[in-house]
Amino acid sequence: MAFDYDLFVIGGGSGGVRAARVASGEYGAKVALAEEYRMGGTCVIRGCVPKKLMVFASAYAPAIEDARAYGWRVEAGTFDWPAFRAKLDAELDRLEGVYRAGLADAGVTVHDCRATVEDAHTVRLASGETVTAKHLLIATGGRPSLPEMAEKAGALTSNDLFKLETLPKSMLIVGGGFIACEFACILNGMGVEVTQFYRGEQILRGFDGEARGHIAEHMRDNGINLHVGTDVIEMKAVDGGTWVKSTDGREAVYEKVVYATGRVPNTDGLGLEGTGVKLGRKGEVEVDEWSKTAVPSIYAVGDVTSRINLTPVAIREGHAFADTIFGARPTKPDHDLVPSAVFTQPEFGTVGMTEEAARDERPIEVYATSFRPMQTAFVGRPDRVMMKLIVCAKTRKVLGCHIVAPNAGEMIQLAGIAIKMGATKEDFDRTVAVHPVMAEELVTLRKPVRTG
């Protein structure tokens, strides 16, 4: 059978774009891609990139205070959200243009419309046109979900925060994952009075317990009204905002309410079920270690598979798919020891096992420290950083590293290389410290604080 394309990609996010560019530009495949919204996906348009720019913007108020303590004669004005948002929108437009240019340079045909799957080799475009391809790649990502009660009351999701016309005076953020915590810190830094509810016992479930507690303490110290073990039981739109009643009996009106309680894969209405592709309980596309679905011609990468929902992981999955199918280089995406960062204030960088997970599997040693860094101690701030290594008592390999500190994301990238290579605690010990920097503590931790 003759096909219109060798590959048709549905979804213009990081994973889909990487697969399309490599398959076409490096391996000469005939490739088309459909995107119904904006090129760049969650990361570029409504996730990592705009969020990180908001993190930068939110950090200037304390930086100006510190500058005064260091002898600079400076005064902070008020934060101009409309001016920042205009620059933010312009930057996202620029990045979308970069993505489009990359696809064009690689010879990929782009369809700016929704596409659905008709069968194992056929895609239907929103125009009604159908096209065929030897291989289909589903890279449609995920989206925030809203409970029915919140939707009826007009609650926002993280997507909406990038499009606010004005910053509210008060905001309730519901959720305790990294998205909820990051936006709580961002908006607090921009001058919004932030309250956060999380129904669990501690924020950032799934991360290292000691790090979670350290971050929660700092968030409260920085002015975030954080309540754990708390959830919303009633809410409704009223004059001036949203009235909310919580499980602890609290009642209050917030100008805006944001739900960050989870994301779901974008598979609704794609037509996958009719082809024999299997979907999981939350709608995620089930794939094997090669990113292949139950239908041999259909593959999926990125957040739509709910493996590890991180942009660099989606990029690796997309590249591995192209290498395998079009480059005659069978490559499995590697999901082991993936470093990541949570852009709270302070930041949290992590790679490998948590203390809790490691302790359940084997005898370990825990090396940890918490201290006031030089830069903020000088100006009298009480901020403390935390650094922690989880070590296998038998093999001496470093199983995990967790850092809560300014620029922890930068530090964990480099620690991740060593741990991925199988570094032992003694390898860390043999490395000479850089002084005076926070990261030197990673190579000067001599005695375990806990074993077991």
**Mean pLDDT along residues 413-425:** 98
Query: Rounded to the nearest 5°, which phi and psi values hold at 370?
Result: -140, 135
Residue 180 annotated as binding site: yes
**Mean pLDDT along residues 391-419:** 98
- Name the pLDDT band for 192 (thresholds 50, 70, 90): very high
CATH number, position 385:
3.30.390.30
For 42, the token pair is 């969650």
Residue 332 lies in a domain: no
SS3 of the chain: helix, strand, coil, percent, to 5: 35, 25, 40
Residue 392 annotated as binding site: no
Residue in 254, 214, 211, 249 with CA at minimum distance from that of residue 233: 249
Instruction: Tell me the pLDDT tens digit for each residue of 426-448.
Output: 999 999 999 999 999 999 999 99
Same domain flag for 445 and 350 = yes
Same domain flag for 250 and 170 = yes
Residue 237 lies in a domain: yes
Note the helical H segments in 362-450.
Answer: 374-377, 408-420, 425-430
Last residue of a domain, one of 326, 353, 374: 326
Distance from CA of residue 337 to its chain's centroid?
16
pLDDT score for 1: 74
**What is the C-alpha separation between 452 and 449, in angstroms, rounded?**
11
> Residue 223 CB: number of other CB atoms within 10 A?
12
For 346, the token pair is 């302070």
Whether 235 and 153 have beta carbons less than 8 Å apart is answered as: yes
Residue 447 lies in a domain: yes
Whether 317 and 302 have beta carbons less than 8 Å apart is answered as: yes
Residue 303 annotated as binding site: yes
Residue 331 lies in a domain: no
Structural domain harbouring 397: 339-451
pLDDT score for 76: 83
Same domain flag for 316 and 417 = no
What angle do the packed helices 48-58 and 178-189 form, to 10 degrees?
A: 40
Same domain flag for 288 and 435 = no
As annotated, the active-site residues are 435
pLDDT score for 75: 87
Instruction: Tell me the pLDDT tens digit for each residue of 327-374.
Output: 999 999 999 999 999 999 999 999 999 999 999 999 999 999 999 999
Average pLDDT, the chain: 97
Residue 333 lies in a domain: no
Same domain flag for 273 and 132 = yes
Residue 178 annotated as binding site: yes
> Residue 56 CB: number of other CB atoms within 10 A?
12
Task: Indicate the number of domains in the chain.
Answer: 3
**What is the C-alpha separation between 420 and 283, in angstroms, rounded?**
32
Residue 101 lies in a domain: yes
Whether 124 and 118 have beta carbons less than 8 Å apart is answered as: yes
HSE-CB for 318 with a 13 A CA cutoff: 32
Instruction: Tell me the pLDDT tens digit for each residue of 193-243.
Output: 999 999 999 999 999 999 999 999 999 999 999 999 999 999 999 999 999
Last residue of a domain, one of 305, 326, 347: 326
**Mean pLDDT along residues 395-401:** 98
Same domain flag for 120 and 232 = no
Last residue of a domain, one of 288, 303, 326: 326
Residue 16 annotated as binding site: no
Paired strand residues for 263:
144
Give Cβ neighbours of residue 23 (< 8 Å, ≥ 6 apart). Answer: 6, 7, 29, 31, 322, 325, 326
Same domain flag for 10 and 132 = yes
CATH number, position 189:
3.50.50.60
pLDDT score for 112: 96
- Name the pLDDT band for 176 (thresholds 50, 70, 90): very high
Residue 175 lies in a domain: yes
Residue 181 annotated as binding site: yes
Residue 52 annotated as binding site: yes
pLDDT score for 77: 86
For 385, the token pair is 């950083």
DSSP class of 257: E
> Residue 176 CB: number of other CB atoms within 10 A?
26
Strands 348-352 and 398-404 come out as antiparallel
Same domain flag for 125 and 199 = no
**What is the C-alpha separation between 278 and 135, in angstroms, rounded?**
17
Instruction: Tell me the pLDDT tens digit for each residue of 378-395.
Output: 999 999 999 999 999 999
Same domain flag for 183 and 238 = yes
DSSP class of 439: G
DSSP 299-334: EE-GGGGTS---HHHHHHHHHHHHHHHHSS------
Same domain flag for 121 and 156 = no
Same domain flag for 197 and 227 = yes
> Residue 26 CB: number of other CB atoms within 10 A?
14
pLDDT score for 447: 96
Check whether 315 has a pLDDT greater than 80.
yes
Residue 134 lies in a domain: yes
Residue 425 annotated as binding site: no
Whether 256 and 196 have beta carbons less than 8 Å apart is answered as: no
Sort residue 138 into left (φ over 0), alpha (ψ -120 to 50) or beta. beta
**What is the C-alpha separation between 215 and 317, in angstroms, rounded?**
31
Instruction: Tell me the pLDDT tens digit for each residue of 273-306.
Output: 999 999 999 999 999 999 999 999 999 999 999 9
Check whether 139 has a pLDDT greater than 80.
yes
Percent of the chain with pLDDT over 70: 100
Same domain flag for 164 and 139 = no
